[in-house]
Structure 1
């Protein structure tokens, strides 16, 4: 037996016993580590609970900018703006629908920026040129398309109401005179001078009937007409701001807050 053990030891290289013992020890440690894998694993229910705590139900996820979504919303709001103009032209409801003319372009600016807003205005003009002719489409684009982009830019930058209303009034006055100039070219007659002449003749007749020794002049009538146009556009822009305040807040795209005295009158915060 001693010879057999000596022969067996002769086949084993030196240090193999130590190596085997080290392997057994490492295997034992790995088994010990594997025995605790349940403790190291995260409980799925706890993970779900932590995620639910981090993202509550009432939190709105960030809006992903997708070219498809931008294109769809631009096309939809462009068609909505064209439809509002078309309905108001054939079935006029007074100033009710007119207030909504620039709002689609302003909404697109608040959501997707300047380029999408200009695309909405241009596509609306193209749709109206197909449905009603190029003249009506140009009259819509100037001033209401440009006004919508301007309002969206002011609201996006948080400009006060006074500033956005002032710029909108300038665009509205320019749009009215552009419309008079365009129709004067198409009709071959100066419509502004014609309207001023008729108003002067009417006031002269009215003052004569009332016994007033006042002779209205063309310059005075023009000044009164320009002041009335400016006041009319200011009131229109004020109404547009009020409607946008009520509508766009509910759509998740709020505009700057009104002055304190307006908020007190309409009881809106």
Structure 2
């Protein structure tokens, strides 16, 4: 009998023990990630609320406004759909406590929802034009929601004020084009909707630019912009 034959055989690995060890490791990983997920979600939700709060009482023009949806979108990029919705709800509840339910609703619709939408599109790596158009549609709906909601609270039709402003703009354009005609009501209303849509489109484009530069710096990148934007910004 050789020495090799006389060596004791190694015991076979117990598959149940291996699966138990693997499940324990997964459970420990879950326990480690859960507090971090909860803390980050709460922190970013409060950040979004704080940005809205500061901008409401100390407006700095578009400087803070472009940041409204970004914290909630960052929650989606880091922790997924459920955490992003929790952040949106948490920020709304926090603003309801700090500023009242009316101003809270004006943030939730559309900016909290927009954060979830942008986070979903960025997570799926869709092109900028798609996420910008989707955000523009949501922002346009948000403007009409705000007009309806504030009109309901104030008892006045705020859409009339928008129509008056658009009428002055169209009359000015007609005057400079030397068009001797009066714009009809349908043209004015279509012009108002077009101006709201264009305004939201520009806003979403700027939000994408800010998110691209900001989130890249912290390691949560969004899809690359079109090539002409990268050349214009001189950013690789």
- TM class by smaller structure: 0.7 to 0.9
Is it true that 1:100 corresponds to 2:67 in the alignment? Answer: yes
Q: Is the 8 A contact 1:200 1:217 kept in 2?
A: no
> What does the per-residue CA deviation read over 1:92-134, in whole Å, with 9 as the maximum and x for residues that have no partner?
1111100000000000000000011111111110111111110
CA spacing shift, 1:74–1:217, aligned 2, 3 Å:
same
Please name the residue that 1:263 is paired with: 230
Written as runs of structure 1 = structure 2, the 5 A alignment for 1:1-269 is 66-197=33-164, 199-200=166-167, 213-269=180-236
Q: Which moved more, 1:184-193 or 1:125-134?
A: 184-193
**Structure 1 unaligned spans of 5+:** 1-25, 27-61
Which protein has greater RCO, CA pairs closer than 8 Å, 6+ apart?
A: 2
Mapped partners of 1:208, 1:264: distance in 2: 39
- Distance in 2 (CA, whole Å) between partners of 1:202 and 1:231 is 15
Structure of larger gyration radius: 1
> What is the CA-CA distance between 1:212 and the residue it aligns to?
5.6
Secondary structure at 1:242 match in 2: helix
Q: Distance in 1 between matches of 2:37 and 2:184?
A: 54
Distance 1:268 1:65, change over 3 A: farther
Query: Does the CA contact (< 8 Å) of 1:70 and 1:112 recur in 2?
Result: yes
RMSD: 2.5
CA distance in 1, matches of 2:87, 2:62: 22
The TM-score normalised by the length of structure 2 is 0.81
Q: Tell me, what secondary structure is at the counterpart of 1:66?
A: helix
Q: In the TM superposition, what is the alpha-carbon distance from 1:193 to its structure 2 partner?
A: 2.9
Q: Compared with structure 1, are the counterparts of its residues 228 and 75 closer, same or farther at alpha carbon in structure 2 (3 Å cutoff)?
A: same
Listed as ranges, the gaps of 5+ residues in structure 2 are 4-28
Pairwise CA distance, 1:206: 9.3
Number of aligned residue pairs: 209
